């Protein structure tokens, strides 16, 4: 793989990671907001959070293999 392509790919996966950090942040904040008023939504938000963490780890793994 050409060095320039590799660098561009790494930049893309860095961006993916940063976006997932924000998604995690927003999910955690949402959990705080709904804890008392809509506890039935907590499981759904936790599921999103678990999935985001899993996909972020996959993206980081790809990044490290580039």
Distance in angstroms (rounded) separating the CA atoms of residues 22 and 56: 11
Residues of the domain holding 56:
3-65
pLDDT above 90 as % of the chain? 79
Give 3's pLDDT tier (boundaries 50, 70, 90): low
**pLDDT on residue 36:** 85
Sequence-separated (6 or more) residues with CB below 8 Å from residue 59: 13, 16, 17, 20
pLDDT score, position 1: 55
Q: How many domains does the chain have?
A: 1
């Amino acid at each position: 793989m050409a060095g320039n392509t590799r660098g561009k790919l790494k930049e893309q996966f860095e961006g993916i990671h940063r976006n997932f950090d924000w998604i995690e942040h927003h999910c955690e904040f949402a959990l705080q907001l709904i804890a008392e008023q809509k506890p039935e939504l907590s499981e759904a938000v936790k599921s999103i959070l678990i999935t985001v963490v899993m996909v972020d780890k996959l993206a980081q793994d790809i990044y490290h293999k580039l």
